[in-house]
Chain A
């Protein structure tokens, strides 16, 4: 009788081992499905720095008065008064070709192009190319642009 009981317990030990493994993998598959739905709905938050194209595109949010303008950031984004810039800021204190944002090695770099160095990052002047982090404030002349690397997280963060 104890022998039978012991045998049942031994099989139960093995069965429980597998119940746990299957449970772990079931969780994993459920999470992948959720992620798949998010990708399909275009609300996936994105992976790491190596594949920016997988993420919802990074963007600049222009904060001016009560208005909010959103500009997508590509491989090269020029900011200035001239019409050939990706971000056109028709202001007196912005130069024709004032600053640019470059994608390099999976990071976005801000570079000042203005003759008087009137580009600031979070209030500090930009000396050379500087890596942009999510939520940085880029000040070009008198205009302020908010850099959002992961737009969905930023919306929740500022809400």
Chain B
């Protein structure tokens, strides 16, 4: 019984239909077949995922997917409005993302399988980060693109998932064996520094910031010690200060953040256009299709939040933030309800990635933080980003599936097929080191 999910998805379908009707009515999309095909296929795909979950007895959270669908529908409508071609490509990527979501919740439904391949993940993450340095294409100053035939993609997006999975396994195992000091910190700090250096070479500061925040969040979730977070923040401040002295483009960014107005025609153009667009929106916005978000450079990717705020107003912007708040709340709740450490850390990591990314770009567009070019999860144009976000969503849902879904479904779930013995086996397979060496191998006193 995933009735809540079905009703919410139908409401999202209605929302999408109204948005597409406005686009057609306002003459932005002239071909009547486009809204019909895009709307129909998107709703059909959403419902197909829902049907697949209902049929296969999936017990994941029923409200998370509709919340994401709401964001994706908003993104789709705005992309069609900004540029028909981008909108249609995003539509194809959205269908791909939904297929990937179905596959993730199908193949990895027992997410503990991931824990068996930790070195594969770190290797894949490293490969995905390094590949663009060697074979990469430069786009918008960041050298982080790979071209494969007609499809361009950004491997650092996928590297996020790999590294979060690896770090969750590593930290779960390390804290499980009570490892402290060098055994715990050296690999974590090493991985972090390496990642940041690689991203620095690719000139991808936004992604580096998100990695950094996610690492800190995971370390805090694993150890519950504020001192590491404080140390990380101090390091971040020091690093930014050093970079501002050494790298001229970082200093320019900081200066444009503090005061963009003297450089309104050059470096500050994008951010000031974004601020104008936001101001033009007022409380309820200019109305969908009635504003001029196309004046903001990169309105379809990094600056889509400015476009949403211009045409849906303060209300639309606050609404977007609320949906992200909802996602983060649900994600952290899943992490708390999860009954093994790996699941807890993985859920925390996935949530942190989505939450920090949303925060960094929404704060950047509104000039709360220095601007760094990352996509708004589920909303911005970008195939790699969208597919990655759907993988993260799938992992979160799998964790909530193992935790048994939401509380008001507790009774039905308790009668489910999950026997005590099965749980025990899978836990043991995961937690005990091979060879029966026992958790005391590192000499921790008990």
Contact = CB atoms under 8 A, between A and B. Distances in A.
Interface of A: 2, 5-7, 9-14, 16-21, 23-25, 27-28, 30-31, 34-35, 38, 45, 47-50, 102, 104-105, 107, 109, 111, 122, 127-131, 133-136, 148-150, 152-154, 156-159
B283 to A, nearest CB: 10
B316 A20 contact: no
Contact of A14 (B26, B67, B284, B438): B284
B423 A134 contact: yes
26 contacts: A6-B25, A6-B287, A9-B18, A10-B288, A13-B19, A14-B313, A17-B15, A17-B315, A19-B11, A20-B66, A21-B70, A24-B8, A28-B63, A28-B326, A49-B339, A107-B176, A111-B446, A122-B424, A127-B436, A133-B423, A134-B420, A134-B424, A135-B419, A135-B420, A152-B414, A156-B415
Given A24-B326, A38-B410, A10 B420 contact: no
Given A9-B22, A102-B446, A157 B419 contact: yes
Interface in B333-379: 335-341, 344
Contacts of A19: 11
Contacts of A11: 284, 287
- For chain A, what secondary structure do more than half of its interface residues adopt (helix, strand, loop), or is it mixed? helix
Contacts of A24: 8, 63, 66-67, 70, 323, 326
Interface in B389-436: 406-408, 410, 414-415, 418-421, 423-424, 427-428, 431-432, 436
A128 B438 CA distance: 6
Interface of B: 4, 8, 11-12, 14-15, 18-19, 21-22, 25-26, 63, 66-67, 70, 74, 175-176, 178, 224, 284-285, 287-290, 312-313, 315-316, 319, 322-323, 326, 329-330, 335-341, 344, 406-408, 410, 414-415, 418-421, 423-424, 427-428, 431-432, 436, 438-440, 446
Given A13-B22, A154-B420, 4 more contacts: A9-B22, A20-B15, A102-B446, A133-B427
Contacts of B439: 109, 128-131
Given A10-B290, A49-B341, A17 B427 contact: no
B61 to A, nearest CB: 10
Given A31-B406, A48-B335, A128 B440 contact: yes
Nearest to B418: A157
